[in-house]
Amino acid sequence: MFDTLTDRFDAIFTRLRGRGRLGDAEVAEVLREIRVALLEADVNLVVVRDLLEAIRARCTGAELAKHLTPAQQVIKVVNEELTVTLGGEALKISYASKPPTVVLLAGLQGSGKTTASAKLARWFRQQGRHPYLIGADLQRPAAVEQLRVLGAEIGVDVFSEPTDPVSVVRSGLAEARRLGRDVVIVDTAGRLAIDRVLMDEVRRVSEALHPDYTFFVVDAMTGQDAVQTAEAFHQALQLDGIILTKVDGDARGGAALSVKQVVGRPIAFLSTGERVADFEIFHPDRLASRILGMGDVLSLIEKAEREYDEEVTGQTIERLQAGTFTLDDFLDQLRQLKKMGPLTGLLSLMPGVPKEVRDAKVDDRDVGKIEAIICSMTPLERTDPTVLDGSRRLRIAHGSGTSTTEVNNLLRQFKEMQKMMRGIGPMAKLMGGRPGNPSKSSKGNRKKVKGGRVTPSSRGLGPTR
Amino acid sequence: MTLVIVLIVVAVALLVSAGLVVSTRSRRGAALEGRGAPQPGTLPSTASTISAQAEPEPSPRFEAEAARPVMRDRLGRARGLLAGYFDQVRGRKGIDDATFEELEEALILADVGVATTTRVLGDLRDKLHSGALSATDPTALLQALQDDLVAMFDGDVGSLAYGDGDGPTVWLFVGVNGVGKTTTIGKLALRETESGRSVVLAAGDTFRAAAGEQLESWAERAGARIVRGSDGADPSSVIFDAVQHAASRRAGLVLADTAGRLHTKVNLMDELRKVRRVAERPPGQLTEVLLVLDATTGQNGVVQARQFTEAVGVTGIVLTKLDGTAKGGVVLAIRSELGLPIKLVGVGEAPADLVPFDPAEFVSVLFG
């Protein structure tokens, strides 16, 4: 795993303890680290250079705030610069006064245009529109078939015919008008930016369509080449926005920054998964943290939102409010966690997880052990662990194929956790009593996240195993 | 185990908090199952359909060319950006820090990555200091760099292995979404049938809409047989059926497609492990597990290669879409970190454009 920027900076800044300002030498060293981090995140070299200049200007001689360490301070500056670069004006879709509003998607092969087309159609329908899909990718075998299947899945009609892309979009547009659809989304074949013939073709498609929006679809895993490709497409098509796909992987997504910088148009949407529902409006601040490898609480929350069973969570919250969090609840939570993927993956999403914890070898099979231990307990033992005497513990150890030491360990940690949860309980009550105020609750939540982290990890990190 | 408990506690605290937000927002709930889970309505493996195309219909566009195209011919048009850097280095009288800066930028722009670039250039500096290289001859320096990069691929052969036993040879294709797995299989099928082998395609991508259709149209072109499952069927079962089918028909080669998957999806990687286990079961002889990698991929390519290798033991890499402006330098990082050989390179849309990897050509193209 990459060291996060914070760790690297900390190493540099331990040397300037006691000083209130950043000198040129420190700034230069820090900038080198930032450069490597950005390049590792696939931000284009040229874009990195511009960014570093901006950061240098803001860091040199800057007064250090009292409540932040120098490392945090620089990170803050970098994060802000990235957010500004990524953000700027957000794309606001304004619909054509004379429908339909035409949207054209273009990009390299395999960037995810066909899938993005369907997802975009679904998004428009959620906005109360009546979208229509045109499959103008006549190049790749079965591309239109793919669009038709996806269209059927989301209940949006798909138009295509085996002629040539320009006539397909002409008749498709006429058909959309006849049917009274107000949004038309056109999927095109993937093409290389240096392929003259195909770039010319997509230009002709664009001329025939007069699209209101032309989106460039780009894979989040793209490397340095993103800039050249985006430039070529921008030249040919006058892009209006960017759709970043495959964001659900672990690529840092620096390409987004490069493309944004080169094209100067906003990143409009993120495609975040394989299901048609995995599509969202872009938030610059989150991607900035991700490029820096700083963890992403908001994404974690959303992941939880997606994978967590609301009913189970609801029960847990009730227990929390009542102050009775049992091993059964713990087991439920554990199983929910398992659904979300390996622990290490989740940890990488959390900001500020101590280095020792992050680097520790975590064996996910241990999760299974814990599950086995709890499952070997009787219902009484689960609700009231105080009844667990030596012989019960031995039975549990036998039953779960573990040792009594492991059982004891679990119980001790669980006790710690109960204490912590009791701290959360009243807060939960507070928030539960105030529904319909999400901004407030998410703020409270973030604060709590931090509290919840510090307590157990600082306490429990003694000798392991 | 203590550590794991601590981690769970941390995570639970976080997630319970997250859950609170969810419930206060009272948004959509219903945990969504990963697609690896059995779904009602999917058909068992016996529902695989087997179709065979007796007569290939070679479309003019896909007719193989007589001579094997070399990478360089195809890539000539994509030079430019990097060539400028190297020209600049050549044009200078001596070698100084600026020289190394330019080399570094060129390699990074080719997606070689910071770590590998630093290492390669460090070696070069050492040679310079030890006197093995003249400090006044930039051309020799560039040559030394090229040689070093070519040497990184020492021992690679751009050919794919066939089993020597009785059963059909199986080549398994894996990779993230949209890298060109199905297309690569199609082109290889054409190549292999032309060289007289009897080929069976296993349409193991049962997830992406119309992936089977895409492979079927390639099967038609190549005159290969194809074994398909129903949409959403277990890919292992499709591949099992394909191997059985190949064995009973005495077909020599099975090309097994799989659905694109991000290496971060645990359940999908588990699914792939199972696919591999089934593919290597006799009579099948699994000789190649090929990771298909898009040349535009940046540093994430290294992570992909590592994860896929851990899961299914990748034997080599197919680098696709090298005919664009991307240089595919990430394979250098992969080679240096994981030692994986590059086997095939895709340099164009035509079937003949899938060519064996040649380190010297690859590096010389990198240098424009």
pLDDT at A450 over 50: no
pLDDT at B33 over 60: no
pLDDT recorded at residue A20: 56
8 Å CB contact between B302 and B334: yes
Task: Look at residue B364 and tell me if it is in a domain.
Answer: no
pLDDT recorded at residue B18: 45
Task: Look at residue B136 and tell me if it is in a domain.
Answer: yes
Residues from chain B contacting residue A145 (CB–CB below 8 Å):
209-210, 213-214
> What size, in residues, is chain A?
465
Give tens-digit pLDDT for A123-151: 999 889 999 999 999 988 888 989 999 99
- Residue of higher predicted confidence among B199 and B231: B199
Give chain B's mean pLDDT: 78
Residues B130 and B178 in one domain: no
Looking at A102-116, A174-188, A440-454, B41-55, which range is the least confident one?
A: A440-454
Give tens-digit pLDDT for A384-402: 888 888 899 999 999 988 8
Nearest to A421 by CA among A349, A322, A331, A336: A322
Residues B210 and B143 in one domain: no
Task: Look at residue B12 and tell me if it is in a domain.
Answer: no
pLDDT recorded at residue A178: 93
Residues from chain A contacting residue B77 (CB–CB below 8 Å):
194
Residues B113 and B193 in one domain: no
Looking at A114-128, B10-24, B25-39, which range is the least confident one?
A: B25-39
CB of A457 within 8 Å of any CB in chain B? yes
Q: Looking at CA atoms only, how far is residue B89 from chain A in angstroms?
A: 18
**Residue range(s) occupied by CATH 1.20.120.140 in chain A:** 5-86
Residues B147 and B212 in one domain: no
Residues from chain B contacting residue A342 (CB–CB below 8 Å):
266
CB of B61 within 8 Å of any CB in chain A? no
Q: Looking at CA atoms only, how far is residue B13 from chain A in angstroms?
A: 6
pLDDT at B23 over 70: no
Assigned token pair, B39: 């779904």
Q: Angle, nearest 10°, between helix axes B81-91 and B138-151?
A: 130
Residues B204 and B343 in one domain: yes
CB of A307 within 8 Å of any CB in chain B? yes
Task: Look at residue B255 and tell me if it is in a domain.
Answer: yes
CB of B11 within 8 Å of any CB in chain A? yes
pLDDT recorded at residue A437: 36
Average pLDDT rounded to a whole number, residues B211-239: 88
CB of B68 within 8 Å of any CB in chain A? no
Average pLDDT rounded to a whole number, residues B315-338: 89
Cβ neighbours of residue B324 under 8 Å, at least 6 residues apart?
Answer: A108, A192, A193, A194, A225, A229, B78, B295, B296
Most confident of A60-69, A77-86, A345-354, B187-196: B187-196
CB of A233 within 8 Å of any CB in chain B? no
pLDDT at A114 over 90: yes
Residues from chain A contacting residue B17 (CB–CB below 8 Å):
424, 445, 448-449, 452
**Residue range(s) occupied by CATH 3.40.50.300 in chain A:** 101-293
Q: Looking at CA atoms only, how far is residue B164 from chain A in angstroms?
A: 34
pLDDT recorded at residue B4: 56
Assigned token pair, B247: 């064995």
Task: Look at residue B288 and tell me if it is in a domain.
Answer: yes
pLDDT at A208 over 80: yes
Looking at A405-419, A422-436, B261-275, which range is the least confident one?
A: A422-436
pLDDT at A163 over 80: yes
CATH topology of domain A5-86: Four Helix Bundle (Hemerythrin (Met), subunit A) (1.20.120)
The rounded distance, in Å, linking the Cα atoms of B274 and B163 is 21
Looking at A268-277, A377-386, A421-430, which range is the least confident one?
A: A421-430
CB of B81 within 8 Å of any CB in chain A? yes
Residues B197 and B257 in one domain: yes
Beta strands in chain B (DSSP E): 49-52, 169-174, 199-203, 225-228, 253-256, 285-294, 316-320, 342-346, 354-356
Give tens-digit pLDDT for A354-378: 555 555 556 667 778 888 899 999 9
pLDDT recorded at residue A451: 33
Give chain A's mean pLDDT: 77
Residues B169 and B138 in one domain: no
The rounded distance, in Å, linking the Cα atoms of A232 and B178 is 21
pLDDT at A102 over 90: yes
pLDDT recorded at residue A306: 59
Could you give phi then psi for residue B103, rounded to 5 degrees?
A: -60, -40
Residue B32 pLDDT class (50, 70, 90 cuts) = very low
The rounded distance, in Å, linking the Cα atoms of B342 and B335 is 8
Average pLDDT rounded to a whole number, residues A220-234: 90
Enumerate long-range contacts of A355-364, CB under 8 Å, 24 or more apart: A355/A7, A356/A461, A357/A457, A357/A461, A357/B3, A357/B6, A357/B7, A357/B10, A358/A1, A359/A1, A360/A464, A360/B3, A362/B3, A362/B4, A362/B7, A363/B4
The answer to whether A345 contacts B264, with C-beta atoms less than 8 Å apart, is yes
Residues B125 and B163 in one domain: no
- Considering the four listed CATH numbers 1.10.3720.10, 3.30.360.10, 1.10.260.30, 3.40.190.10, the one that applies to the domain covering A301-460 is 1.10.260.30
Looking at A141-150, A413-422, A437-446, B96-105, which range is the least confident one?
A: A437-446
Residues from chain A contacting residue B213 (CB–CB below 8 Å):
141-142, 145-146
How large is the greatest C-alpha to C-alpha distance in chain B, in angstroms? 72
Considering B96, B123, B151, which residue would you say is the last residue of a domain? Answer: B151
Residues B125 and B174 in one domain: no
Q: Looking at CA atoms only, how far is residue A94 from chain B in angstroms?
A: 27
CB of B213 within 8 Å of any CB in chain A? yes
The rounded distance, in Å, linking the Cα atoms of A181 and A381 is 62
pLDDT recorded at residue A395: 93
Q: Looking at CA atoms only, how far is residue B29 from chain A in angstroms?
A: 5
The answer to whether A465 contacts B330, with C-beta atoms less than 8 Å apart, is no
Give the number of domains in chain B: 2
Average pLDDT rounded to a whole number, residues A196-216: 92
Considering B151, B169, B193, which residue would you say is the last residue of a domain? Answer: B151
Average pLDDT rounded to a whole number, residues A70-90: 75
CB burial readout A418-454, b (16+ within 10 A) else e: bebbeebbebbeebbeeeeeeeebbebbbebbeebbe
Residues from chain A contacting residue B177 (CB–CB below 8 Å):
110, 112, 246, 274
8 Å CB contact between A34 and A78: yes
Q: Which residues pair with B352 in a beta bridge?
A: none
Task: Look at residue B17 and tell me if it is in a domain.
Answer: no
- CATH number of the domain to which B189 belongs: 3.40.50.300
Give tens-digit pLDDT for B168-180: 999 999 999 889 8
CB of A76 within 8 Å of any CB in chain B? no
Q: Which of A3, A33, A35, A109 to mutate to test the interface with B (most CBs of B within 10 A)?
A: A109
- CATH number of the domain to which B145 belongs: 1.20.120.140
Considering B108, B130, B151, which residue would you say is the last residue of a domain? Answer: B151
pLDDT recorded at residue A465: 32
pLDDT recorded at residue A113: 93
Task: Look at residue B276 and tell me if it is in a domain.
Answer: yes
ipTM score above 0.90: no
Give tens-digit pLDDT for B126-153: 988 888 888 888 888 888 898 999 999 8
Domain that holds residue B113: 75-151
pLDDT recorded at residue B318: 94
Average pLDDT rounded to a whole number, residues B75-94: 70
Q: Which of B1, B62, B179 to mutate to test the interface with A (most CBs of A within 10 A)?
A: B1
Residue B110: closest C-alpha in chain A: A224
The answer to whether A255 contacts B298, with C-beta atoms less than 8 Å apart, is yes
Residues B137 and B284 in one domain: no
pLDDT at A106 over 90: yes
Name the CATH superfamily for A101-293.
Answer: P-loop containing nucleotide triphosphate hydrolases (3.40.50.300)
CB of A429 within 8 Å of any CB in chain B? no
Residues from chain B contacting residue A192 (CB–CB below 8 Å):
321, 323-325
Residues B208 and B296 in one domain: yes
pLDDT recorded at residue B154: 84
Whether the link from the prior residue into A342 is cis, omega within 30° of 0, is no
pLDDT recorded at residue B9: 59
Residue A431 pLDDT class (50, 70, 90 cuts) = very low
pLDDT recorded at residue A266: 86
Task: Look at residue B247 and tell me if it is in a domain.
Answer: yes
Within the 319-338 window of chain A, which residues sit less than 8 Å (CB to CB) from chain B?
A: 320, 330, 333-334, 336-337
pLDDT recorded at residue A160: 92
Residues B129 and B215 in one domain: no
* Other C-beta atoms lying within 10 Å of the C-beta of residue A92: 7
